[in-house]
Structure 1
Amino acid sequence: MATGRLGYNSVNDRYGLLVSDLWEHSGFHCGEGLEVMVDDKWVQTRMEMCWNDDGSHDWYLVGTPYCGDLEYVRARV
């Protein structure tokens, strides 16, 4: 299991998993599972995306408080 932090990959317009500033997973797809740290506990979740009325989109992690800017969220796969 690889543990690191989420980071935005501008090459593929997705959030991926960075370990020591190297891409362990270059970009999660909608519905793809991972675990994230919430209140010092690992929580299973999945990556999803919602479209806003202005045509922009936000990434979010189902069942967690994380939505929008996911940079530096501690995660593992």
Structure 2
Amino acid sequence: MQKTGTLIINDTKRLDIRFDLTTYHGSLQVGDSLELLIENRWIETTVGFDVNWYLSGIRTDNLIGLRVKITL
């Protein structure tokens, strides 16, 4: 099953996906695969962490608010 949501940083400083007002994925891990919506196209990427969270192959300074899709 795939779910679509918005990237956030949760209270523990981990990257997470908010699906609606009260439903969250529950902390993404390094290596997790997801798809990112860019210019009306879904782009496959993976989660990484160095000094900050990043998505492989995606150039942006701010991940918060990006639209993503993940297979559960």
State the TM-score, normalizing by the size of structure 2.
0.83
Task: Tell me: CA distance 1:2–1:63, structure 2 relative to 1, closer, same or farther (3 Å).
Answer: same
With a CA cutoff of 8 Å and minimum separation of 6, indicate the structure with the bigger relative contact order: 2
Structure 2 Cα separation of the partners of residues 9 and 23 of structure 1: 12
Corresponding residue for 1:47?
Answer: 47
Code of the residue aligned with 2:56 in structure 1: it is V
Code of the residue aligned with 1:21 in structure 2: it is L
Code of the residue aligned with 2:38 in structure 1: it is V
Corresponding residue for 1:76?
Answer: 69
In structure 1, list runs of 5 or more residues that go unmatched: 51-56
Larger relative strand fraction: 1
Bigger Rg, structure 1 or 2: 1
Structure 1 Cα separation of the partners of residues 15 and 21 of structure 2: 13
In structure 2, list runs of 5 or more residues that go unmatched: none
Aligned residues: 69
Matched residues, percent identical? 25
State the TM-score, normalizing by the size of structure 1.
0.78
Corresponding residue for 1:9?
Answer: 10
Structure 2 Cα separation of the partners of residues 5 and 58 of structure 1: 18
Code of the residue aligned with 1:20 in structure 2: it is D
Please tell me whether the aligned partners of residues 49 and 59 of structure 1 are also in contact (alpha carbons under 8 angstroms).
yes
